[in-house]
Amino acid sequence: MNLPLPAIDAPDILLVEDTASMRTIYESHLRRAGYRTVSTGTAAEGLEMFRVHPISVVLLDLMLPDRDGLDLLVDLLEMRPETSVVVVAAERSTERTVAAIRRGALDYLVKPVTESRLMEAVEAARRAATIAHPPHSTESRAPLPDFIGHSPAMRDIYDRIRAAARSMAPVCISGESGTGKELAALAIHRLSTRAQGPFITLDCGAIPPDRLESEVFGHRRGAFVGALSDRLGAAELADGGTLFLDEVCELHPTLQPRLLRFLQSGLVHPLGAEAARRVNLRIISASTMPLAEAVRSGQLREDLFYRLQVVGLQMPPLRQRGEDILPLAETFLARYAAIEGRSFTRISPEAMALLRAYSWPGNVRELSNVLRAVTVLHEGDELTPAMLPADLRGSAVLPSTESGDLSGLTLAEVERRVIEAALDRHDGAVPKAAADLGVAASTLYRKLESWRTD
């Protein structure tokens, strides 16, 4: 297809909007701000213009006369994954919003779009395009700062963190305790266009119910007994940056509707305040319990689930990262030896075999604690098996009397036999078997579900 393209040198923004009057308005706003634009009213012409020009940002209407905008979104990002696409829709639909974000859209605007909102979205998209890396590049699969490990599971996490950082979409990070959920949230923030803004953490499970609303939204002096001065809540403190809701499934039911309204409107109304204030922040949440499981159990509202988990990230447990245990252990040993003034420089092969054979129910945090204890309690150049905790040395040896002959089996097969043996001992009671094995019950439920689908 050979199309007559506008005589504009190196446009960097493509506008695909089928309503001519809206197209004219958007172009006027963009050109007044100094952007070079090219525009069309159809998906076919938009795709051809995208092929011809080095476009970095696309403003895409979802309702096009010749094709669904979501399908065009997929094609654009398959051609150039580093492109920032801002979707524009006639009405807000949770289903369409989630679909657009999951397909790679950076932001979702609802008509009518004000000039300030349009420019805010475009500027964020330009910054995101500048720092973006194609997801299949060598650099994108390299470890992120503060992360250690090259296992396939972690390489996938690095890719997903970088992809999530380019978006404005809410992210929910799930995983067992000690897998690095807050570290992943911080990495997303630091790689995003909000990196210069604040990163505010709120532990939803550690705040008393009677203080939750004040902690999240703040209060004004005299709002309640003991409110002696104005206090900013976490939502206002995170304005311009990221609000990290840790253990969001522990959020008290009475606060969940208020959080939902805030996510829908972006308005913060502190206790005792006469008026609400709009804030601009990104929500990242984390939970040890999968959010879908929390919804099924009635612990989390379903509508809040759809707002929080537009993008999901599952942190792998350490037992699924066998090849990362050695570099993690060596890093922790060197770090704590320096802190404690010890001379440790290496780990014996026998000690490393024990570290590899242990199931690590506490994940990376437990490994870090074990290495810290070794450097505090022992001296020497080499870490030996005798220096490791007795319960670790005992647990690292799999019980062949209960699981049969384990020789020749893969690690996954051994794990399955041990779990099945524990379930048999407790007549199929998953919580009791999990306690026996030192893992969370949710871990066994996930294992059983995956085996059913094999």
Question: Where along the chain do its domains lie?
Answer: 13-131, 139-314, 320-389, 400-453
Q: Would 139-314 and 320-389 be classified into the same CATH topology? A: no
Enter the CATH code of domain 13-131: 3.40.50.2300
List 268's β-bridge partners, or say none: 277
Looking at residue 413, what is its pLDDT? 67
Place of tokens 């002696």: 228
Residue 361 and residue 373: Cα distance in Å, rounded?
17
Looking at residue 425, what is its pLDDT? 76
Pick among 3.40.50.300, 1.10.3720.10, 3.50.50.60, 3.40.30.10: CATH of 139-314: 3.40.50.300
| Segments in the chain below pLDDT 70 | 1-10, 92-94, 130-143, 396-415, 435-442, 453-454
Closest CA to 1 of 38, 36, 50: 50
Looking at residue 131, what is its pLDDT? 57
Helix runs in 206-357, H state only: 209-217, 234-237, 256-265, 291-296, 302-308, 325-340, 349-357
Residue pair 76/47 in contact (Cβ under 8 Å)? The answer is yes
| pLDDT tens digits, 260-311 | 888 888 888 888 888 888 888 999 999 998 888 889 999 999 989 988 888 8
CA angle 374, 377, 379 (to 5 degrees): 80
Residue 430 and residue 422: Cα distance in Å, rounded?
9
Give the single-character DSSP code of 244.
E
Looking at residue 135, what is its pLDDT? 42
Give the 3-state secondary structure of residue 84.
strand
Question: Phi and psi for 177 in degrees, rounded to 5?
Answer: -60, 135
Residue 15, CA atoms < 13 Å, CB-side half-sphere:
23
What are the Cα distances from residue 97, in Å, to 104, 216, 267?
11, 25, 19
Q: Fold for 320-389, please state it.
A: Helicase, Ruva Protein; domain 3 (1.10.8)
Name the CA dihedral angle for 190, 193, 197, 200, rounded to a multiple of 10 degrees. Answer: -60
Residue 28 and residue 34: Cα distance in Å, rounded?
10
Closest CA to 37 of 49, 27, 48, 47: 27
Residue pair 213/205 in contact (Cβ under 8 Å)? The answer is no
Looking at residue 6, what is its pLDDT? 39
| pLDDT tens digits, 47-71 | 988 888 888 899 999 889 999 888 8
Give the single-character DSSP code of 267.
E
